[in-house]
Copies of this chain bind each other. A is one copy, B any other.
């Protein structure tokens, strides 16, 4: 019987009815209005009902991928920064509202599970997935099982320290990988450079408008030979490359899956990460390693959540 997958972001809840092979039968999307837990549960329930009604088939369980920290198998969302939540028993609330068994996992874990079972990781048991979007995250699958960690927050690659006491990260700590190489911080660093007025290339690319800066702008400025843009760009790429390579060394995955907006839209950064894994991961750990791009795009979390149900 199909299952229901929920992808809970900061602005939308998406729901999909998914078959056992990971095909989406029907889906629905609902904007989140008020962010109180009960209002969000209602939004999810509406999206779920729409998806189930469209599919015209009963479902036997529900999986939820949510951005935030989930405490083990409890279904409790300990911290969800996008929603401003702390210790919300989302699993239990949804179980009561929907009448299905509900499992709540981290959104990147759900996405990795989707890729493992219906995307780029098919046939694999040991897979490491790295997402570089506005932030930097990862998910570990070992022996065919999701590694969640003792506190449910395994995979926080963005918050490893690459410069002890370095640049301040959005998490409040200093020197995190994300503070240098996450999309949000790539934009911030590029805007800082634009604001100095020293980069003619950046001025031309953006018309002087900081709002037009994206990670792609930085890649273009670096490729156009702007020395300071290049420094930010090469530093971020090298840090990402070494960080990913080091996780390949420690985890020895059979597959490395790359996803997220920055790796998708900045081919130069993606190339440096791939080449960096070849250069910096230990020889034995990358024997037989297959590197590929995530295949399911935005649907990976929905599909993975449903398959985890």
Contacts and interface: CB of A to CB of B under 8 A. Distances in A.
Interface string A223-254: 00000000000000010001001110111111
Interface string A157-173: 10111001000000111
A253 B140 CA distance: 13
Interface in A275-292: 279-280, 282-285, 287-289
A245 B211 CA distance: 36
Contacts of A283: 171-173
Contacts of A274: none
Contact of A161 (B69, B125, B245, B284): B245
Interface in A24-60: none
A250 B157 contact: yes
B250 A164 contact: no
A interface, over-half SS = loop
Given A148-B143, A284-B79, A160 B249 contact: yes
A251 B251 CA distance: 10
Contacts of A261: none
B282 A171 contact: yes
Looking at chain A, what size class is its interface with the partner chain? 35 or more
A150 interface: yes
A66 to B, nearest CB: 15
A162 to B, nearest CB: 9
B280 A149 contact: no
Contacts of A242: 161, 164
Contacts of A251: 140, 147, 149, 154
A247 B245 contact: no
Contacts of A255: 150
Contacts of A245: 160-161
A253 B153 CA distance: 9
Interface string A112-153: 000000000000111000000000001010110101111111
B164 A280 contact: yes
Given A148-B252, A150-B252, 7 more contacts: A140-B251, A142-B154, A143-B148, A151-B288, A152-B252, A161-B242, A161-B249
Interface of A: 69, 79, 124-126, 138, 140, 142-143, 145, 147-157, 159-161, 164, 171-173, 176, 238, 242, 245-247, 249-255, 279-280, 282-285, 287-289
